[in-house]
Amino acid sequence: MILPVELRPTKSVAVRLPSGTSATLPVAYPSFQSWTGKKVFDFGRKPLLDYDGEVCFAELLILRLLFKSGWSGVWVEAYGGGRHVYYLQSMPASWTLAPHHIPIPYDKHALLRQIARVADTPSCFDVFVWSGEQILFCEAKYVNPPNKDRLRETQLKFIEGALACGIPPQALLLVEWSKLVPATPGGSFR
């Protein structure tokens, strides 16, 4: 599996699943540059990041990195409990996500439906990408403050459902990211 250097796992972690079993998942620890430009739409106070001069959320930054490495894919947004699931590749401008929703290949959509059925939850990891026969799910977790952004019960159910559907644990990447704070004039960090 070819991954950008920022998303290459450097550790693995055992995750306790709802059934009482556990799975060992890979973890990457990238640092992303904070956005210092004009403030844009506040989507649940998600941190704004800079990717090549473009403002984006961590999920979209991860997606952009994977695009550069030859992957295709989407940010899977099921905000609000999963009543509506949106597939996004661009930064939303409002809470109305429908204008940004894009279709995904039928087989990828069918796989997500199968996992949701088995897991009994519409929850999914944040980023879903594919390259040929390879697939990868990435869950973005902001590590500042520590231990605040943890795997939720629905995400644990998703992991269990994905594994039951034949997704290997190494295709379920946890991305525990931090922000780089831009330097202030004079060269010191804020």
Q: What is the pLDDT of residues 10-40, one digit of tens each?
A: 999 999 999 999 999 999 999 999 999 888 7
Angle at 68 between CA 82 and CA 42, to 5 degrees: 40
Q: Is residue 23 part of a domain?
A: no
Q: What is the pLDDT of residues 39-93, one digit of tens each?
A: 877 777 788 899 999 999 999 999 999 999 999 999 998 765 556 788 888 877 6
Q: Is residue 11 part of a domain?
A: no
Q: Is residue 55 part of a domain?
A: yes
Q: Is residue 33 part of a domain?
A: no
Number of H helices, E strands in the chain: 3, 10
Q: Is residue 174 part of a domain?
A: yes
Q: Is residue 102 part of a domain?
A: yes
Q: Is residue 101 part of a domain?
A: yes
Residue 140 confidence class, pLDDT cut points 50, 70, 90: very high
Global confidence as pTM: 0.89
Domain count, the chain: 1
- Give pLDDT, residue 25: 97
Domain of 78?
45-180
What is the share, in percent, of the chain residues with pLDDT greater than 90? 64
Q: Is residue 37 part of a domain?
A: no
- Which strand (E) or helix (H) includes residue 163? helix 153-164
